[in-house]
């Protein structure tokens, strides 16, 4: 199976690649549109700030490539936020795959939201064999609100989408590559069951 991790200068590509290797899968890191379009599965990670990341995607033409992909795509953290329509982080227009806006946390808790939190109301094959209320690892200051696209939810002073899905596009706000058994199962599900 040809798995490509999109490497556009704003992703945690090596930690995702190592997590897949631990599970027995090999993946290529690439920003080449042809390689990405020819992959069987695409993983779109991200760390950092939305506006800078969008500039990097545009530099390589990936802002046009990613929304047109037909194979299963998994966004992670900032990758999930960039798949949405708009982010309040520096008022950034994103890829528009999911017609929802990314909002800044306005809660009494510590921001950024860093650490382990539970996911619940699990749906989709991405969450097969993951227990309700499993703990996963988050690092973020912005969130995707609960919507009809939510396939996992988390509460951090506000209910938000821990994971979303639309057609062939899947995404997790948490880091499955750092989320122990639950995260490993989600990565396995994406590679083997979707």
d(CA 134, CA 128): 12
**What was the pLDDT predicted at 189?**
98
pLDDT of 11 reads 72
Mean pLDDT per 10-residue segment, the chain (194 residues)? 93 90 96 98 95 96 98 98 98 98 94 97 97 98 98 98 98 97 98 91
Residues 137-146 as b/e (b if ≥16 CB within 10 A, e otherwise) read bbbbebbbeb
* pLDDT at residue 9, rounded to an integer: 85
Catalytic annotation, residues: 77, 175, 177
For residues 24 and 46, give the distance between their C-alpha atoms in angstroms, rounded to a whole number.
23
CATH number of 3-192: 3.40.50.880
Taking the whole predicted model, whether its pTM rises above 0.95 is answered as yes
What is the reported pLDDT for 149? 98
**CA angle (99 as vertex; 94, 102 as ends), nearest 5:** 55
What's the start-to-end Cα distance of the chain, in Å?
13
Q: What is the pLDDT of residue 10?
A: 77
pLDDT on residue 121: 98
């Amino acid at each position: 199976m040809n798995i490509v991790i999109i490497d556009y200068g704003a992703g945690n590509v090596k930690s995702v690649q190592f997590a897949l290797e631990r599970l027995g899968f090999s993946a290529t890191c690439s920003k080449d549109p042809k390689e990405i379009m020819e992959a069987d599965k695409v993983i779109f990670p991200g760390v950092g700030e939305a506006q800078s990341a969008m500039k990097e995607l545009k530099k390589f033409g990936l802002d046009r490539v990613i929304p047109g992909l037909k194979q299963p795509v998994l966004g992670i953290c900032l990758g999930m936020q960039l798949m949405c329509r708009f982010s309040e982080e520096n008022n950034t227009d994103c890829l528009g795959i999911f017609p929802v806006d990314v909002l800044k946390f306005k809660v009494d808790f510590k921001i950024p939201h860093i650490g382990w939190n539970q996911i619940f109301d699990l749906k989709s094959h991405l969450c097969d064999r993951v227990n309700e209320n499993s703990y996963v690892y988050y690092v973020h200051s912005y969130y995707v609100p609960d919507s009809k696209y939510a396939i996992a939810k988390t509460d951090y002073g506000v209910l938000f989408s821990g994971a979303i899905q639309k057609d062939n596009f899947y995404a997790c706000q948490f880091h499955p590559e750092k989320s122990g058994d639950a995260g490993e199962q989600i990565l396995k599900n994406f590679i083997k069951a979707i």
